[in-house]
């Protein structure tokens, strides 16, 4: 192996570590427009550099996939949280939507149930003992 090949492999590895740090640390703190602009600029510069250094194309792909994965994860969490404005908000993090001040009424566990006992196999269940920590 030549020294030039080792140097290129080392530079590619360091660039991939820098891209991973960008996606994990800097990307969540940027607004939508700024993150798209910075990721696009890094990808375009890497593709331009790939004309002289083939390893730079890998950096462009890593930026694009990292940005797409981060955006998809935040879109997925916003979709399931019911707060679509969170995805690519103007700030770093959106505050959760305020809940109603009165919680929904639930039947008390102390009130006796009028339903007949249920069967679990050959065992009859007369009352619920406790709910535990999972709901």
- 20 in any annotated domain: yes
Phi/psi for 94 (5° steps) reads: -95, 140
| Strands annotated E in 29-134 | 118-120, 123-125
Q: Give the pLDDT confidence of 92-127 residue by residue, as tens digits.
A: 454 555 555 555 566 555 555 556 667 777 777 776
* Total number of domains in the chain: 1
The answer as to whether 66 is a domain residue is yes
Domain that holds residue 79: 3-86
Does residue 11 lie within any of the structural domains?
yes
pLDDT digits (tens, 9 = 90+) for 36-83: 899 999 999 999 988 988 888 998 999 999 989 888 887 766 555 544
Give the pLDDT confidence score for residue 65 in this predicted structure.
92
Distance (Å) of CA 34 to CA 84, 92, 118, 128: 19, 11, 59, 54
Q: What's residue 115's pLDDT?
A: 61
How open is the CA angle 45-55-5, to the nearest 5 degrees? 135
Is residue 14 assigned to a domain?
yes
The answer to whether position 108 is within a domain reads no
Q: Is residue 12 part of a domain?
A: yes
Asked if the structure places residue 37 within a domain, the reply is yes
């Amino acid at each position: 192996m030549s020294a030039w090949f080792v140097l290129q492999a080392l530079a590619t590895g360091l660039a991939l570590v820098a891209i991973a740090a960008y996606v994990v640390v800097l990307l969540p703190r940027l607004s939508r427009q700024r993150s798209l602009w910075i990721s696009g600029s890094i990808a375009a510069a890497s593709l331009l550099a790939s004309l002289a250094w083939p390893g730079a194309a890998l950096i462009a792909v890593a930026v694009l996939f990292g940005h797409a994965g981060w955006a998809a994860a935040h879109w997925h969490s916003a979709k399931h949280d019911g707060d679509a404005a969170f995805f690519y908000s103007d700030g770093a993090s959106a505050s959760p939507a305020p809940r109603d001040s009165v919680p929904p009424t639930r039947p008390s566990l102390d009130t006796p149930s009028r339903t007949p006992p249920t069967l679990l196999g050959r065992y009859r269940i007369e009352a619920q003992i406790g709910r535990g920590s999972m709901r």
